[in-house]
Chains A and B, each alone.
Chain A
């Protein structure tokens, strides 16, 4: 196999566009955290060095910063790969889906697990560009199955929605317990 030559070749993980931006972010982040070490950790006058609460944060952040410097140098001295900012824009765009996730999590205690899951599945299906009834139906069915498996059968610890309180007696009990 011509593509598989040496053990090293399989282990190499080459740089991708945006690598240097990530390298800068991590270096700034680690140096900032390291600069806070005296404020954010304690040093007790008694006790050995390795038993100090400051020891492991100092070791990890110190080594992280050193690695981050070398990683940045490696990126800086390597050939520039086109598409750096396009890649960064892709990262930023993913924050939208993080927002969807948080909004979903924030809605469940109010609107209930079953309704919220179905609504979010439909909205995300539309957001993903699917417009046909087949995909929307698949989203409804899949989200219903997820709720049944986890809440109804496995009884995982999820809150009942406040909206269920306005339902008629019999239905309210069922929804509060199983959905």
Chain B
């Protein structure tokens, strides 16, 4: 109880409240503009938050993370262009509803379902906290090493159809974090006698290049366009009542969001899809899916909004990020010398509770904001794409240069920007590089610190949690091979290539 009060006290500061408002409302706006997305915004703001208190910086970034998907539903529903990649399924039922003149109903349903999913995710996180506090200290070096390894494997296997490319990119990420002076033996690794490489390749520079600059280059290089969203008319509160008729779908979808959000590498995309499939299979009118079924919309939005809170579980409890946004947040923790992991629940539990309350508050702020400002956002969405590219380029400079005023960093970021553009154009994922860098670093450190206790390779799995993790790794690999074999036997026909552009948003 005392910790809960301490957490509340942390939030009761003007700078935290301001950060919460800026993060949550900014996140909605960023999510609503197709072509920006939370990753770009977080990457740009990351260095600026280093000078702020951990709770202020994290609240702002968490606000963007948690609220962007609310905003992303607006263009998905009104103009059939998802604001963020994870709103893709929202457009399937949302846009047909707009075509039928029910845009306000679709938006209202999306907001209500998002709110349901968001709050459900946070409640699960809060309820799981005592368990996490109990289990997290059982994770030693070996356990964290195997959990990070499992994360890498899941990230690779989750990108079906491009597993080789994803594996190659994840390994590139692991390689990137090895460049520079080895911290234990003080020997140079892949510096090619360049002094600027001795300190290694900075994660934030890579993140800014791959996410922000690549997006700027992409928007500047593509033909100019200006999304034309029409304002919606009608009562925005209708969806709240309608959601109550579909509580089952919303709850199951949120549960998918929570479970898959906790697993590294899967996240919103899988949760959304599984929820949608569940909603369709259990619906009394499955034929309406894709033609404006409210359950489809609810399933998609509730699932993706339950993920941010769930994604905080491996990050806070083990220090293992499951996707790019939590990987970026990890660097904020490190900069402030707050190391997420087992000790966090013992030493900084007030910060953990503070973050929980921030998550609840941001959902309320966003919900209220959206109920009254949707039409305002439809105007913001009309920013021409090339102009948006210019603004992202200018903002990226602040992010890269403010780190250490280095022109070399800008050159490295620009190089990664071009690489990011190539990957986006090829519809290959960027996230494995970032996760490779973060998880690769964790694996190297944890394996080294586990070494003195290992007499034989079998000692690696002689503890209950390590054994379970090892079995899960084997199971995941076996299941993947089984699916591949089944797919091969089924001879599934090729689908429309243009549909698969999830990496380009």
Chain A residues with CB under 8 Å of chain B are 1-16, 18-19, 22-23, 26, 30, 33, 36, 40-42, 44, 48, 50-51, 53-54, 56-57, 59-61, 63-64, 67-68, 70-71, 74, 87, 90-91, 93-95, 97-102, 104-106, 108-109, 117, 120-121, 124-125, 128-130, 135, 138-139, 142-143, 146, 150, 154-159
Task: Decide if B191 is an interface residue (CB 8 Å cutoff).
Answer: yes
- Give which listed residue, B221, B273, B407, B436, contacts A94 with CB less than 8 A: B221
Prevailing SS type, chain B contact patch = helix
Residue contact B451 to A51, C-beta cutoff 8 Å: yes
B86 to chain A, nearest CB (A): 12
Chain B residues with CB under 8 Å of chain A are 47-48, 51, 89, 92, 158-162, 164-165, 167-168, 171-172, 174-175, 178, 182, 184-185, 187-192, 213, 216-218, 220-221, 224, 269-270, 273-274, 276-277, 280, 289-290, 296, 384, 386-387, 389-391, 393-398, 400-405, 407, 410-411, 413-415, 417-418, 421-422, 425-429, 436, 440, 443-444, 447-448, 451, 483, 487, 492, 494-497, 499-500, 502-503
Residue contact A63 to B451, C-beta cutoff 8 Å: no
A41-B190, A68-B168, A95-B418 provided; 11 other pairs, C-beta below 8 A? A8-B161, A11-B161, A13-B427, A13-B500, A16-B427, A44-B187, A53-B189, A64-B168, A90-B221, A120-B394, A150-B48
Residue contact A135 to B387, C-beta cutoff 8 Å: yes
Residue contact B224 to A128, C-beta cutoff 8 Å: yes
Residue contact B440 to A16, C-beta cutoff 8 Å: no
User: Can you report 18 A-B residue pairs in the complex whose CB atoms are below 8 A from each other?
Assistant: A4-B92, A12-B495, A40-B189, A51-B451, A63-B167, A97-B221, A101-B410, A101-B413, A104-B393, A105-B401, A106-B410, A128-B390, A130-B384, A135-B387, A142-B391, A150-B398, A150-B402, A156-B402
- A56: which B residues are within 8 A, CB to CB? 174-175, 178, 440, 443-444
- Give which listed residue, A50, A98, A106, A120, contacts B415 with CB less than 8 A: A98
- Give which listed residue, A9, A13, A53, A63, contacts B171 with CB less than 8 A: A63
Residue contact B414 to A101, C-beta cutoff 8 Å: yes
Residue contact B188 to A40, C-beta cutoff 8 Å: yes
Q: Tell me whether A1 and B51 are in contact in the complex, defined as CB-CB below 8 angstroms, given that A101-B397, A124-B390, A157-B405 are known contacts.
A: no
- Give which listed residue, B273, B280, B387, contacts A130 with CB less than 8 A: B387
Residue contact B500 to A14, C-beta cutoff 8 Å: yes
Question: CA–CA, A41 to B164, complex, Å?
Answer: 26
* Residue on A nearest B421 in the bound complex, by CB: A94
- A138: which B residues are within 8 A, CB to CB? 387
B171, B492, B494: which has the most chain A beta carbons within 10 Å?
B171
Residue contact A51 to B190, C-beta cutoff 8 Å: no
* Residue on B nearest A47 in the bound complex, by CB: B185
- B492: which A residues are within 8 A, CB to CB? 6, 8-9
Q: Tell me whether A94 and B217 are in contact in the complex, defined as CB-CB below 8 angstroms, given that A4-B276, A48-B451, A150-B398 are known contacts.
A: yes
Q: Tell me whether A3 and B168 are in contact in the complex, defined as CB-CB below 8 angstroms, given that A57-B190, A143-B394 are known contacts.
A: no
- B440: which A residues are within 8 A, CB to CB? 56, 60
Q: Tell me whether A71 and B51 are in contact in the complex, defined as CB-CB below 8 angstroms, given that A48-B451, A142-B391 are known contacts.
A: no
* Residue on B nearest A8 in the bound complex, by CB: B160
In the A-B complex, the 5 residue pairs with the smallest Cβ-Cβ separation, listed nearest first, are A12-B161, A1-B290, A11-B160, A64-B171, A105-B410
Question: CA–CA, A12 to B423, complex, Å?
Answer: 15
- A44: which B residues are within 8 A, CB to CB? 185, 187
A-B contact count (CB 8 A): 258
* Residue on B nearest A100 in the bound complex, by CB: B393
- Give which listed residue, A13, A18, A19, contacts B502 with CB less than 8 A: A13
- B394: which A residues are within 8 A, CB to CB? 104, 117, 120-121, 142-143, 146
Question: CA–CA, A120 to B170, complex, Å?
Answer: 35
Q: Tell me whether A61 and B418 are in contact in the complex, defined as CB-CB below 8 angstroms, given that A41-B189, A124-B390 are known contacts.
A: no
- Give which listed residue, B276, B290, B401, B483, contacts A108 with CB less than 8 A: B401
Residue contact A70 to B164, C-beta cutoff 8 Å: yes
- A143: which B residues are within 8 A, CB to CB? 394
Residue contact A13 to B417, C-beta cutoff 8 Å: no
B466 to chain A, nearest CB (A): 16
B489 to chain A, nearest CB (A): 13
Question: CA–CA, A55 to B59, complex, Å?
Answer: 38
Question: CA–CA, A9 to B276, complex, Å?
Answer: 14
- Give which listed residue, B216, B387, B447, B502, contacts A97 with CB less than 8 A: B216
Residue contact A98 to B217, C-beta cutoff 8 Å: yes
A85 to chain B, nearest CB (A): 13
Residue contact B220 to A97, C-beta cutoff 8 Å: yes
- A26: which B residues are within 8 A, CB to CB? 168, 172
Residue contact A71 to B402, C-beta cutoff 8 Å: no
A45 to chain B, nearest CB (A): 12
Question: CA–CA, A68 to B167, complex, Å?
Answer: 9
B425 to chain A, nearest CB (A): 7
Residue contact A40 to B191, C-beta cutoff 8 Å: yes
Q: Tell me whether A71 and B168 are in contact in the complex, defined as CB-CB below 8 angstroms, given that A57-B175, A105-B400, A124-B393 are known contacts.
A: yes
- A30: which B residues are within 8 A, CB to CB? 168, 172
Residue contact A12 to B410, C-beta cutoff 8 Å: no
Residue contact A33 to B190, C-beta cutoff 8 Å: yes
- B496: which A residues are within 8 A, CB to CB? 3
Question: CA–CA, A2 to B499, complex, Å?
Answer: 12
- A68: which B residues are within 8 A, CB to CB? 164, 168
Residue contact B414 to A128, C-beta cutoff 8 Å: no
* Residue on A nearest B280 in the bound complex, by CB: A1
Residue contact A13 to B159, C-beta cutoff 8 Å: yes
Q: Tell me whether A50 and B448 are in contact in the complex, defined as CB-CB below 8 angstroms, given that A12-B160, A13-B500, A139-B390 are known contacts.
A: yes
Residue contact A158 to B401, C-beta cutoff 8 Å: yes
Q: Tell me whether A87 and B425 are in contact in the complex, defined as CB-CB below 8 angstroms, given that A26-B168, A97-B220 are known contacts.
A: yes
- B175: which A residues are within 8 A, CB to CB? 33, 56-57, 60-61, 64
